[in-house]
């Protein structure tokens, strides 16, 4: 039986975790993702990641539960998943020619000892100046209504960018693998040594 549980229904996060070659289960937690008063993007990303992991703790004792969440920020405004084509269009119009910050929270909950380690990764994305036709073309080909920022970096969304400034390219896709490997090693699981 796998020791690892990914607290997510995201196919992108599952694909990323698969890269480590470790067996895992995945289970989508049910939490309220609404921001709290005076909560910064960093605080929100960290809290949601932690809450996702803890939401599954009762179901997975003696496991390591991975929670992750991503928040986009522009001009100190929190920007979550657009949820509709119209809001996706509005976000992409607002991002055009701007630098957008993406904060990807990560939590590793060790239910064997009730210990939760967290990390927040900052990725800065310079969005090209986009024409209305490019925005419509992107939305038509890839309506990313369920992704923070309104695009999928791992797919056609790369065509929207001028530059990415990050210490971990996997973070923008939704799961910072460099930090995750460190947290796993600290919890006694080394992806390089596991059979």
Options 18, 32, 37, 69, the catalytic residue:
69
Interstrand relation of 77-79 and 4-6 (parallel, antiparallel or unpaired): unpaired
DSSP string for 127-151 = E----HHHHHHHHHH---TTSTTSS
Q: Element (H or E) spanning 178, and its range?
A: helix 177-186
Alpha carbons 142 and 145: distance in angstroms, whole number? 9
Instruction: Give catalytic status of residue 162 as yes or no.
Output: no
Alpha carbons 3 and 93: distance in angstroms, whole number? 43
Task: Give the catalytic positions in this structure.
Answer: 69
């Amino acid at each position: 039986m796998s020791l690892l549980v990914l607290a997510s229904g995201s196919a992108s996060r599952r694909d990323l975790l698969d890269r480590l070659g470790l067996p895992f289960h995945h289970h989508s937690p049910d939490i309220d993702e609404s921001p709290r008063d005076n909560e910064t993007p960093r605080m929100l990303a960290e809290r949601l990641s932690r809450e996702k992991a803890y939401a599954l703790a009762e179901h997975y004792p003696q496991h390591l539960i991975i929670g992750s969440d991503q928040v986009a920020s522009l001009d100190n405004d929190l920007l979550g998943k657009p949820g509709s084509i119209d809001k996706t269009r509005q976000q992409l119009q607002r991002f055009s020619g701007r630098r957008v910050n993406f904060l990807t929270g990560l939590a590793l909950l060790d239910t064997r000892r009730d210990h939760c380690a967290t990390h927040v990764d900052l990725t800065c994305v310079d969005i090209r100046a986009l024409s209305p036709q490019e925005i419509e073309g992107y939305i038509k080909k890839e309506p990313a209504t369920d992704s923070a920022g309104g695009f999928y970096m791992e797919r056609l969304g790369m065509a929207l960018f001028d530059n990415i400034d990050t210490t971990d390219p996997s973070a923008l896709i939704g799961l910072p693998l460099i930090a995750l490997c460190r947290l796993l090693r600290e919890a006694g699981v080394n992806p390089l040594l596991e059979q």
